[in-house]
Amino acid sequence: MDYLHPKLDDAAIARMSSLALAHVGDAVYEVLVRAYLACGGTQTAKNLHSRTVALVRASAQAEAVQRILPLLTEEEQDIYRHGRNAKPKTVPKSSSVAEYAHATALEALFGWLYLKQRYDRINELFGVIAQDF
């Protein structure tokens, strides 16, 4: 099995919960942010860490998703909506329920795109988000 590029059929992905998609998408989004920052020039490890934390927190993701919402296809909007409506058991103290819902939706979308192997689309959407970093 290729753990870096899992190959699941559409039915297997459709059976996954929005929170499972968000679990994968959380990692995908953080890798994108880390790579973007690390490749953007020489920075200290402490600076890379603090910038990463600032960009992947729920409030930042909730802002970021607003930039790409108008660009989403109907299918992507459905995944986003399901992710937004997911009911996690806890919400971090550092974010509001609404921010966390939007962040979960963004992560679900990125997780879904990753599992569907739509890497070009991930790069396209992340590129729009990263314009404001």
User: What's the rounded Cα separation, in Å, for the pair 27 and 67?
Assistant: 20
Please state which of the ranges 21-25, 38-42, 100-104 shows the lowest mean pLDDT.
38-42
Q: What is the pLDDT of residue 13?
A: 97
Tokens (6 digits) for 1:
């099995």
> What value does the mean pLDDT take over residues 96-121?
97
- pLDDT over threshold 80, residue 42: no
Res 26: pLDDT: 97
Assign 91 a pLDDT band (cuts: 50, 70, 90).
confident
Catalytic option among 2, 10, 26, 132: 26
Closest-CA residue to 117 (of 13, 11, 1) = 13
Active site residue 9: no
Q: Which of 86, 91, 79 is closest to 118 using CA atoms?
A: 79
The DSSP code for 70 is G
Contact 105, 80 (CB under 8 A): yes
Indicate the pTM of the whole model.
0.95
